[in-house]
A and B are shown apart, each in its own frame.
Chain A
Amino acid sequence: MKKGLLKLVVFSVLVFTLASCAKAPQAEIDAANAAIATAKTAGADRYVPESFNAANEALKSAETAVAEQNAKFALFRNYDAAKTTLASVSTLATKAVEETTAKKDALKAEVTQAITDLGALITSNKELLAKAPKGKEGKAALEAIGQEIAVVETVNTEVTAGIANNEDILTLSDKIKPAVEKAKAINTELTDVIAKVKGGKKK
């Protein structure tokens, strides 16, 4: 009986010891990884790279903290700091997704406006081209301007289709902005040339 009681006590001590050991925060690790993956899918690495990188850096720090605790004897492990960091990873990644969505919406509005502006410029440029005098460089120069207008019109069509097909808005923005500048430059050039000729005729 004494031996039995002794065994029971030793066994109880062992069970108690094992039950008291902290467990690695696997659920939190999985949640953090999933949050980063979601942010990457949303395009956070391109649209809000600083926020995305901050989340990634926090994840690395959390992984090291977990590994460090796992290296210790079971009784002495404490995952509190690691759990806090993992929670911050999820928070940062979620914030990156929100910022990405907001940035995409803002860019989409810009691109949509640019499409409208470019359309108006193209119409105006075609009208001005029809009125433009041939000048010294003449027919060839006007043909070249006509081709420039055709090119920006193609870009406008492509970007319009891109918006409808939910293509990457950053790429569409990079495409259309120079086309708008080009159309403005053509507009200024044709307006100036026509004004000069009119001014010359008045004399």
Chain B
Amino acid sequence: MKYYLWQMKLGWKKRLFIIIGILVSIFVIVYAVLILTMDKPPVEQFTSCQGILAKAKRVNADVYSPDYYQAAEIKYQAALTEWKIQNQRVFYSRDYSRVRELILTAILKAQEANSSSGKNKNSLKMKYLQEVELLKHKLDNYHDVFIHLPLKVNVRKNYEFGKLSLEQGLNAFGKGDIMLATKRLNEGKARISVADKEVNAQLKEYFSDFAKWQNSFAATIRQSAQNNSYAFIVDKIKHKGYLYYKGKLSKEYDVEFGRNWIGDKHYAGDKATPEGMYKVIKKKSNGDSKYYKALLINYPNEEDYALFNSKKRQGLLSRNSRIGGLIEIHGDGGKGDDWTSGCIALTDKEIDELFSRMTIGSPVTIVGSMMSLSELLN
């Protein structure tokens, strides 16, 4: 009986031990099989992709190659999300093929972002520098040409703001921030474009006479060439007087006009400088002129008379208005302002030069501009 009982005790402990042992063995075998056969996540590719994305960020690929960089980030996150989804599945049913596909795409996009970033940055730099030159040219134009125009305050302000934006952009460029530099450049361009449009509108009507001016100065140069003589051409917009000899430019001068210089002369006392083809009819010196020396021109000529009378008939001028006269090229200039009553002023030294070269009958042609409006604006 005792023996029997002892046999029984030994039996169930042994059985328990055997059962546990079998369970553990089955578990280990099954686990080993599953580990060897189940699909594994692409850990190395993720690490590699992180490295490439980090490098791309350091070269600012997110700025200079944003499409590729954003695509790489999106694919990376999609791969990570898919990995998490697969992890939640029962281990034997996991499939990381989609994860591998996404992370490989992310790697390719990140590599492309890296390689194209430098190229794009250089290309942006070149484009920026070209645009800066164009804008500087426009600003030089403003300074050289339009500064004399009776521009509205907001037009001048827009040019100056445009100039400051350009400088802000160059400051950013110097720090390597091409995107900010380009942004400021575009702000400057916008300001200057607004100013140009206003100048264009202001001058468009004035430049409707451009064809006539072109013909006038071409004819004057031809005359100078044919007669082997001097001729003087005045460009009002540029505030310049050009001395030609035998059809070739000999010298240029800064000149000053009447306050209302823009546009033709209409009547006596309007402070406007006339436009047209004239000639020297008298040379004044030794006290003949109150302005040191002067060359009197034949304003008004026949054309001026015809225009004046036509305007009077149309009622565009008052009945009492007179055509005016005594338009000279004279000294006492260099004041830096448009101060005359309609005459053309130079410095005394310059009028001496002109006086010694021009003779009675020398052509004097006064035009609004020798360049078209679009040439001036561009």
Residue numbers of A with Cβ under 8 A of B are: 2, 5-6, 9-10, 13, 53, 57, 60-61, 63-64, 67-68, 70-71, 73, 134-141, 143-144, 147-148, 150-152, 154-155, 174-175, 177-179, 181-182
Q: Which residue of B lies closest to A175 (CB)?
A: B168
Residues of B within 8 Å of A5, CB to CB, are 16
- Nearest first, the 3 A-B pairs at minimum CB distance are A138-B336, A134-B336, A151-B160
**B46:A138 contact, CB within 8 angstroms:** no
Task: Tell whether, in the assembled complex, residue B50 and residue A177 are in contact, meaning their CB atoms are under 8 Å apart.
Answer: no
Asked if A140 and B168 make an inter-chain contact with CB atoms under 8 angstroms apart, the answer reads no
A sample of 18 inter-chain contacts (CB < 8 A) reads: A2-B15, A53-B54, A53-B58, A57-B54, A60-B76, A61-B47, A63-B80, A64-B47, A67-B84, A68-B41, A70-B87, A71-B87, A134-B336, A136-B334, A147-B157, A150-B160, A174-B168, A175-B168
Selected contact of A6 from candidates B19, B40, B53, CB within 8 Å? B19
Residues of A contacting B334 in the complex (Cβ-Cβ under 8 angstroms): 136
Partner of B57, one of A13, A53, A73, A179: A53
**Which of B19, B46, B335, B336 counts the most chain A CB atoms within 10 A?**
B336
Assess the B336–A2 pair: CB atoms within 8 A: no
Which among A9, A68, A70, A181 is the interface contact of B20 at CB below 8 angstroms?
A9
* Distance from B298 Cβ to chain A, minimum over Cβ atoms (Å): 29
Cβ-neighbour of A9 out of B16, B43, B163 (below 8 A): B16
Q: Are A147 and B160 in contact (CB under 8 A)?
A: yes
Contact assessment for B16 and A6 in the assembled complex, using a CB-CB cutoff below 8 Å: yes
Bound-state CA distance A49–B181 (Å) is: 19
A10-B23 contact in complex given A57-B54, A68-B43, A70-B87, C-beta closer than 8 Å: yes
Instruction: Indicate if B101 sits at the interface (CB-CB under 8 A).
Output: no
Within 8 A of A (CB), among B144-166: 147-148, 153, 156-157, 159-161, 163-164
Q: A141 contacts B40, CB within 8 Å? A: no
- Which of B23, B54, B58, B156 lies in contact with A147, CB distance below 8 A? B156
Which positions 103-119 of chain B face chain A at CB distance < 8 Å?
A: none
User: Is the pair B20, A71 in contact by a Cβ cutoff of 8 Å?
Assistant: no
CA–CA, A5 and B83, complex, Å? 42
Q: Interface majority SS on B: helix, strand, loop or mixed?
A: helix
Other contacts beyond A138-B335, A147-B160: 12, CB < 8 A: A6-B19, A10-B23, A70-B87, A136-B254, A136-B336, A140-B147, A140-B336, A151-B164, A154-B161, A174-B168, A174-B180, A178-B167
**Are B20 and A67 interface neighbours, CB within 8 A?**
no
Smallest Cβ distance from B206 to chain A, in angstroms? 18
Q: Which residue of A lies closest to B19 (CB)?
A: A6
B80 contacts across to A, CB distance below 8 A = 63-64, 67
- Whether B91 is near chain A, meaning CB under 8 Å from some CB there, is yes
Q: A68-B43, A140-B336, A178-B168 are in contact. Are A150 and B157 (CB under 8 A)?
A: yes
Which B residues are in CB contact (< 8 Å) with A182? Answer: 164, 167
Q: Is B12 an interface residue (CB 8 A)?
A: yes
Chain B residue at minimal CB-CB distance from A151: B160
Given contacts A67-B80, A70-B84, A147-B160, contact A134 B337 (CB under 8 A): yes
Check if B50 sits within 8 Å of A61, measured CB to CB.
Answer: yes
Given contacts A53-B54, A71-B87, A141 and B336 within 8 Å (CB-CB) = yes
Given the known interface contacts A9-B20, A140-B147, A150-B157, the answer about A71 and B336 at a Cβ–Cβ threshold of 8 Å is: no
Contacting residue for B41 out of A53, A67, A134, CB 8 A: A67
B20 touches A13 (CB 8 A): yes
**Chain B residues, CB < 8 A from A178:** 164, 167-168, 170-171
Question: Which residue of the partner chain A has the closest CB to B83?
Answer: A67
Indicate with 1 or 0, residue by residue over B30-51, a CB within 8 angstroms of chain A CB atoms: 0100010000110100110010
**Max chain B C-beta neighbours (<10 A), residue from A68, A137, A140, A148:** A140
Chain B's closest residue to A24 (CB) is: B87
Q: Using CB atoms, name the residue of chain B closest to A10.
A: B23
**Which chain A positions have C-beta within 8 A of B143?**
144
The distance in angstroms between the C-alpha atoms of A144 and B171, with both chains bound, is: 22
What chain A residues lie within 8 Å of B147 (beta carbons)?
Answer: 137, 140-141, 143-144
Residue of B nearest to A49 (CB): B57
In the bound complex, what is the Cα–Cα distance between A67 and B86 (angstroms)? 10
State in angstroms the CA–CA spacing of A154 and B161 once bound together.
10
Chain A hits for B377, CB < 8 A: none
Q: Are B171 and A177 in contact (CB under 8 A)?
A: yes
Partner of B161, one of A60, A73, A151: A151
On whether the beta carbons of B171 and A174 are closer than 8 Å, the reply is yes
Please tell me which one of the listed residues B12, B19, B31, B46 contacts residue A64 in the complex, with CB atoms under 8 A apart: B46
Q: Which residues of A contact B16 (CB under 8 A)?
A: 5-6, 9
Q: Within the assembled complex, what's the spacing in Å between the Cα atoms of A170 and B374? A: 39
